[in-house]
Amino acid sequence: MTATDEQTAAQADAPSDSVTGGISRKGLSVGTVGLLGAIVMGISCIAPAYTFTAGVGPTASAVGTQVPAVLLVGFIPMLLVAFGYRELNREMPDSGTSFTWATRAFGPWIGWMAGWGLIAATILVLSNLAGIAVDFLFLLISQISQNPSVADLASNPFINVGVCLLFMLGATWISYRDMQTSQKLQYVLVGFQLVVLLVFAVVAIVRGASGDAFDPTRFDIQWFDPFAISSVGALVTGLSLSIFMFWGWDVTLTMNEETKDPERTPGRAATTTVITIISVYLLLTIGMIMFAGVGTGALGLGNEGIQENVFFALSGPIMGPLAFLVSLAVLTSSASSLQSTFVSPARTLLAMGHYGALPPKFASVSPRFFTPGYATVVAAVVASAFYAIMRLVSDTVLWDTIAALGIMICFYYGITAFACVWYFRKQWFDSARNVFFTFLFPLIGGIILFGIFVLSLVESWTPGATGSGSQIGGVGLVFILGVSVILLGVVVMIVQYFRSPGFFRGETLTMAAPESLRRR
Amino acid sequence: MTRAIVVGFRPTNSGSDALALGVRLARSAGAHLHVVTVLPREGALSAAVPPERSYETHIQKQARTWLRDAAGRIPAGVSHSGHVRLGESFAEGLVEAAEEFGAGLIVVGAANGGLFGYHRIGSVASELLHSSPVPVALAPAGLARGIDADTDVSRVTAAIGTRPGADVLLDAAVRLAAMTDSGLRLISLVPFDVPAGLGTGAMRLVDDALGEDVLARASSALPEGVDAELEHAPGATVEEAVARLAWKPGEMLVVGSSRLAQPRRLFLGSTAAKMLHVLPVPMIVVPRTSHDPLSDASETTRDTTTDTETAKGADA
């Protein structure tokens, strides 16, 4: 927790202390991550195979053939907010990220909710990742054994939930023990994922163009025109989903001192990663639309039955006997992403425990594995319970959690962007660079994200406008999910205030704004 | 130059056992104790987890608290210091620390969940036993909570065989006994060196003849003025032989590294591994060609001592 404890830590390490610090003679100041390593990390965190299969269906149902346009537009606020992230991370590196930064800028209450938003979003995605992994495990087995009935087992809610909990248990075990996995394996997984996706896209485009397809649709440059989207509501829904599809990319920008060349590596890695991802997404989208169209036919992207998991439905028709490669790519992508995603809520919970925003138990570090042990287990239990309940309530749960997830990401990213703007308020005009990176970019990004947050909540009120159309008492399930997650956060926050008000009185983490560095 | 011992510490039962053994050895031999914990670089060992300095900073602070608590448990009169180090693995960090401090011994505990009073090789010990250039001491589970936790080293037992390296082992045991001012006992585990398939009768013959021979040769190789008890460890298996031996509170067993080990590297032989299952006292494994436990820094470590000074300066 460098941000605020640096001084106390430095005092504690005064020469009188018998405990020496850190670093053996190999030297620490040099980071370990090279350019390729950073790119692989970025792609792996986005997990394109997983994200695409989960995200493209709902996006297509919202904006039809304009998916490429919405992807490109959705990237803009993501980029603007990521600049703010980078500034905050440089000034206050802290495991609590959004939570710590928003608390420093806006005080404990807003900071707490930003932390809650981050944790809720990552827990939602954990449950979704495990759900997708289950589907593709059964699909893979059925493709290899050539027994289609195996794939249907995934739709049996009890088998589904059971296997999903096993996945979750495995991922928790690996995260809790910080199992050593090699960088080579990571490279192979990411490389395999990209190659399979590219082959898939090319085959789909070729077959779509030659007419040997389900619903051959001619490519149209109009697909890239965001203004051709039918309504503002559709645009907003599409945007929040496309933000979900880029989520995780910011890790390349926030790795600073961890890289071998902090001046250049993060920027180059971020650029390369995002160009790779956008190209893959666009090719895939174009390929899928050309092959299957956006109609509601059996394989159409507009078909509600296949939307929450398009690769599941389309890999067989497009790839034929090689379809199992797609299943394998999605399975490995979601399984490895499950592991890296666990870190995020666990470390934020740890930071919140450390500063007293949650009970101190959350701050405990495993004495054997040096991981946030308690926080990891809590995150896993909540994600598992959430998935199990939701799966038994509604079989379109994957879809609705993705829509709710997009809303939660906009919520905490938006707060983080504003936190950047407000925290650096005295330094805005220190330099031309600051005007853009601490003021204009995060401000615009924050406004867009917050706008999407509010508008997509409004949109999701009507069942069917967002998500699967599931409803409770005439109100869309996505709305209920999003709002109840936020309200639950408010309740927990108030409970914590009465149990341990120190954090909320600013005793552990103070508001601040760094002074201007310009000479007066 | 002071003798130095590195203790691999984590705030677990196993870590406490290692600390207790380290304290016993340091007190008996007048050595300086370096209590070391090794954290994963950038916060995680897994390549799937994004590296994060701020998390590393957090666990470093936590680890310092643990080390300070551990220091509080070290009795007065034992000179000690605590160190947080970063490494690709706990074992690798300990070896680096041993080189940095010119330590002649690394002490670790049994794996978690080991039977009380006995050994169970954990991943850290296992890695050390395959890679450490300096002797490694293994503390049995529960040592820190046992009734004789505060005993000094009372006797050093060396398990002598006929294989190459026996002279190095004998030398190490003699020096350890001298340093800790304790008795020396030589035991023969010869029968277990003979080829498998030999009948029991033949075994006994070989055992008696060779065993006496080995012990006699070993004791004649002892330096001037050093006495040793000679003891035969009969039994059908290694486990049985070891189980029949009597052990004093505070006793240490010293064994050699396997023939398969590379020079200056440890490798736990199958005989030693079998002994561990039934051994109720700490065991020190000595590399085949090595400096002795607790000895002054040898040539490999000497060239790093200047670096140590700079590193300390940087730490302060």
Q: What is the pLDDT of residue B292?
A: 47
Look at A20 and B50 and tell me if their CB atoms are within 8 Å.
Answer: no
Query: CA-to-CA distance for A388 and B94, rounded, in angstroms?
Result: 44
What was the ipTM of the complex prediction? 0.86
Mean pLDDT on B130-150: 86
The pLDDT tens digits of the residues spanning B279-288 come to 889 999 888 7
Q: What is the CATH number of domain B4-148+296-315?
A: 3.40.50.620
Look at B83 and A19 and tell me if their CB atoms are within 8 Å.
Answer: yes
Q: Which residue has the higher pLDDT, A146 or A166?
A: A166
Q: What is the pLDDT of residue A355?
A: 95
Task: Report all structural domains of chain A as residue ranges with CATH numbers, in order of start.
Answer: 45-504 (1.20.1740.10)
Q: What is the pLDDT of residue A10?
A: 36
A274-278, A474-478, B221-225 — most confident range:
A274-278
Mean pLDDT on A278-299: 88
Q: Which residue has the higher pLDDT, B268 or B7?
A: B7
Mean pLDDT on A407-434: 94
Has residue B300 got a pLDDT over 50? no
A233-247, A433-447, B213-227 — most confident range:
A433-447
Residues written for chain A: 520
- Pick A24's closest partner by Cβ from B58, B68, B85: B85
Query: Residue A185 contacts by C-beta under 8 Å, 6 or more apart in sequence?
Result: B47
Mean pLDDT on A242-253: 87
Q: What is the pLDDT of residue B266?
A: 65
Is the Cα dihedral A399, A404, A410, A416 positive or negative? Answer: negative
Query: DSSP E strands: which ranges in B228-316?
Result: 229-232, 251-256, 283-286
For B155-286, give the CATH class. alpha beta
Look at B47 and A185 and tell me if their CB atoms are within 8 Å.
Answer: yes
Mean pLDDT on A286-306: 83
Residue A32 and residue B87 in contact, taking contact as beta carbons nearer than 8 Å: no
Mean pLDDT on B174-178: 89
Mean pLDDT on B9-22: 94
Look at B315 and A20 and tell me if their CB atoms are within 8 Å.
Answer: yes
For residue B62, list chain A residues with Cβ-Cβ distance below 8 A.
Answer: 365
Q: What is the pLDDT of residue A241?
A: 86
Query: CA-to-CA distance for A222 and A227, rounded, in angstroms?
Result: 9
Residues written for chain B: 316
Look at A350 and B49 and tell me if their CB atoms are within 8 Å.
Answer: no
Has residue A4 got a pLDDT over 50? no
**Are domains B4-148+296-315 and B155-286 of this chain identical in fold?**
yes
Has residue B237 got a pLDDT over 60? yes
Element (H, E) at B32: strand B32-40
Element (H, E) at B25: helix B13-29
For residue A371, list chain B residues with Cβ-Cβ distance below 8 A.
Answer: 44
User: Domain limits of chain B?
Assistant: 4-148+296-315, 155-286
The pLDDT tens digits of the residues spanning A93-128 come to 888 999 999 999 999 999 999 999 999 999 999 998
Task: State which amino acid sits at residue A149.
Answer: S
Determine the distance in angstroms separating the CA of A410 from the nearest CA of chain B, rounded to an integer.
22
Residue A404 pLDDT class (50, 70, 90 cuts): confident
Burial environment of residue A282 by CB neighbours within 10 A (0 to 12, 13 to 18, 19 or more) = middle
Q: What is the pLDDT of residue B197?
A: 54
The pLDDT tens digits of the residues spanning B92-103 come to 999 999 998 999
Determine the distance in angstroms separating the CA of B19 from the nearest CA of chain A, rounded to an integer.
15
Mean pLDDT on A388-402: 79
Mean pLDDT on A431-456: 94
Check if A28 contacts B (Cβ < 8 Å). Answer: yes
Residue B267 pLDDT class (50, 70, 90 cuts): low
Mean pLDDT on A250-278: 87
Give SS3 for A314: helix
Look at B64 and A41 and tell me if their CB atoms are within 8 Å.
Answer: no
